[in-house]
């Protein structure tokens, strides 16, 4: 069977740490969407590692890792990352696999991302500029080059055709940066990519399922950044929700068992777009400081605020979440008072549903207050040792979103996680 771990907010919920934690229980970890816009942080012993393209199960020798067909892959980032994990004694030739259907990010995709964002002025998305939007546009536009094509003799001529098409678009943006250096490293990385295990991802996974092996699908970004259900147009370009597992990996819906949603105990967002519970005061600064809320991919400060249960309930609904991991509970350790958003005033009208077009209406969050726990939680291992106030906080979330919080993460380290009794 297949279980899924995905983000329930606007990304950076702590998916990397949680996938790394669960990975030993699985035979394969497979990324199903997104690209190097993702930054998944995990700790190997005391060393912090940020993964952008490689699935977060890579540090477990007995777990295979697959980059699925729904992913957009930047070969340059992949090569760099393979070198990074190899330094930890990981043999990527043995336990990393790339689907033939994975779409390739070419240097001009990155240039187009930059040119397009530059042309948007105040309406810019705040893209990570990794070429994600343009790469997915070439996929739906049926122009993309896929990993399987690298082995075909038409690869170079198709690449040149694509580059010419991109050049015309770049000219229309008056983009004239010299990106020739990007192309040299791209072709070097393409050679490296060809030396990896390129497989038919859907047979790879479905054969494993038939053999009774356990698969963990790893999501990138978060549900509120989903191309269809997120805060459009301030979203990423892929389906980040559980449905993306089927299209991104070639797995049938009935094969999916647990959908494990990851949420912070508060909320963050990086880039532009609506964020109803954003705090602009010292409380927001405190969350950013204590939570080290700076983007793992771009280093940008993350916008911080209270947990938004309206958005979280929506995310649980569209994903079919069966259990929740609440991360960064320790970041709230020193707060006297905590708040959760339980409804919105949408243009002055009370609502308990996420509006179709969050970006076009004025949303004021309505909060319920809770007592802080005022205890250092970072060393706690047993649920009984967690303060009652955390249990109350979690119980309120459970009842509101209709899915149980089963794990509370209380620090960035591998072992800093408490499993709650159901
Ligand atoms: P991802 O994109 O969902 O994998 O999340 P990121 O790695 O971008 O951001 C999460 C950040 O929070 C990383 O720096 C993690 O090391 C850190 N982190 C994860 N879980 C916890 C936790 O429970 N407590 C604290 N303090 N930090 C955490
Ligand atoms: P992980 O997997 C947080 C945001 C960007 C921008 C919008 C579109 O680490 O949770 P894109 O580069 O996709 O065109 O950017 O989405 N974004 C993320 N925010 N975490 C991520 O990934 C993100 N990936 C993209 O900041 O607002
Ligand atoms: Mg991240």
Q: How far is the CA of 324 from the centre of ligand 2 (A)?
A: 21
Which among 349, 337, 325 is positioned nearest to 410, based on CA atoms?
A: 325
The predicted pLDDT at position 258 comes to 98
Query: Each residue of 271-320: pLDDT tens digit?
Result: 999 999 999 999 999 999 999 999 888 889 999 999 999 999 999 999 99
For atom 6 of ligand 1, which residue has the closest CA?
12
What average pLDDT does this structure show over 111-128? 94
From the candidates 20, 40, 74, 226, give the one annotated as an active-site residue. Answer: 40
User: In the chain, what's the furthest Cα-to-Cα distance?
Assistant: 65
Percent of the chain at pLDDT exceeding 90:
97
Report whether pLDDT(254) > 80: yes
Q: How far is the CA of 73 from the centre of ligand 3 (A)?
A: 16
Report whether pLDDT(422) > 80: no
Distance in angstroms (rounded) separating the CA atoms of residues 88 and 46: 12
What average pLDDT does this structure show over 402-412? 98
Going by pLDDT thresholds of 50, 70 and 90, the confidence category of residue 45 is confident
Catalytic residue flag (residue 40): yes
Return all residues near 142 (Cβ < 8 A) that are at least 6 apart.
Answer: none
Distance in angstroms (rounded) separating the CA atoms of residues 6 and 4: 6
Task: Report CA dihedral (97, 262, 223, 260) to the nearest 10 degrees.
Answer: 70
Q: Which ligand is nearest to the CA of 220?
A: 2
Return all residues near 63 (Cβ < 8 A) that are at least 6 apart.
Answer: 23, 24, 26, 27, 28, 29, 57, 95
The predicted pLDDT at position 403 comes to 97
What average pLDDT does this structure show over 200-221? 98
Helix (H, G, I), strand (E, B), or coil: what is residue 105?
coil
Q: b/e string for 100-118 if b means 16 or more Cβ within 10 A?
A: bbbbbbbbbbbbbbbbbbe
Q: Is 416 in the pocket of ligand 2 (CB under 6 A)?
A: no
Report whether pLDDT(122) > 90: no
Tell the burial category of 123 from Cβ atoms under 10 Å away from its Cβ (0-12, 13-18, 19+): exposed
Tell the burial category of 284 from Cβ atoms under 10 Å away from its Cβ (0-12, 13-18, 19+): buried
Q: b/e string for 167-195 if b means 16 or more Cβ within 10 A?
A: eeebeeeebeeeeeeeeeebeebbebbee
Residues written for the chain: 422
Helix (H, G, I), strand (E, B), or coil: what is residue 180?
helix
Helix (H, G, I), strand (E, B), or coil: what is residue 320?
coil
What average pLDDT does this structure show over 146-170? 96
The predicted pLDDT at position 421 comes to 83
Q: Which ligand is nearest to the CA of 36?
A: 2
The predicted pLDDT at position 298 comes to 85
């Amino acid at each position: 069977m297949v279980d899924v771990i995905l983000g329930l907010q606007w990304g950076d919920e702590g998916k990397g740490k949680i996938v790394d934690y669960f990975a030993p229980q699985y035979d394969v970890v497979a990324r199903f969407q997104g690209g190097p816009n993702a930054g998944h942080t995990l700790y190997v012993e005391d060393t912090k590692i940020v993964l952008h393209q490689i699935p977060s199960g890579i540090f477990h020798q007995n777990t295979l890792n697959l980059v699925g067909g729904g992913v957009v892959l930047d070969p340059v980032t992949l090569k760099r990352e393979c070198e990074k994990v190899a330094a930890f004694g990981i043999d990527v030739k043995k336990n990393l696999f790339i689907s033939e259907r994975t779409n390739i990010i070419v240097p001009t995709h990155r240039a187009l991302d930059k040119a397009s964002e530059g042309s948007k002025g105040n309406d810019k998305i705040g893209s990570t500029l990794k070429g994600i939007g343009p790469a997915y546009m070439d996929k739906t536009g049926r122009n993309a080059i896929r990993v399987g094509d690298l082995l075909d003799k038409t690869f170079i001529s198709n690449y040149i055709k694509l580059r010419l098409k991109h050049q015309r678009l770049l000219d229309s943006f008056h983009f004239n940066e010299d990106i020739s250096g990007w192309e040299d490293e791209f072709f070097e990385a393409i050679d490296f990519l060809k030396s990896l295990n390129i497989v038919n991802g859907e047979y790879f996974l479905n054969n494993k399922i038939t053999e009774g092996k356990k698969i963990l699908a790893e999501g990138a970004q978060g549900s509120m950044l989903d191309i269809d259900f997120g805060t459009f147009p301030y979203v990423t370009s892929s389906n980040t929700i559980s449905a993306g597992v089927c299209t991104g990996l070639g797995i049938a819906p009935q094969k999916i068992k647990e959908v494990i949603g990851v949420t912070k105990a508060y909320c963050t967002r990086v880039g532009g777009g609506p964020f109803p519970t954003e705090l602009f005061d010292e409380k927001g600064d405190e969350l950013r400081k204590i939570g080290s809320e700076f983007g793992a991919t771009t280093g940008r400060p993350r916008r911080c605020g209270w947990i938004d249960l309206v958005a979280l309930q929506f995310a649980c609904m569209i994903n079919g979440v069966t259990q929740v991991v609440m991360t960064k509970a320790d970041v709230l350790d020193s707060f006297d008072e905590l708040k959760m958003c339980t409804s919105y005033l949408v243009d002055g009208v009370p609502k308990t549903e996420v509006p179709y077009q969050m970006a076009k209406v004025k949303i004021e969050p309505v909060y319920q207050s809770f007592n802080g726990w005022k205890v250092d939680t970072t060393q706690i291992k047993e649920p009984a040792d967690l303060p009652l106030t955390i249990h109350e906080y979690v119980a309120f979330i459970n009842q509101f979103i209709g899915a149980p919080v089963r794990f509370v993460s209380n620090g960035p380290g591998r072992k800093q996680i408490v499993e709650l009794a159901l």
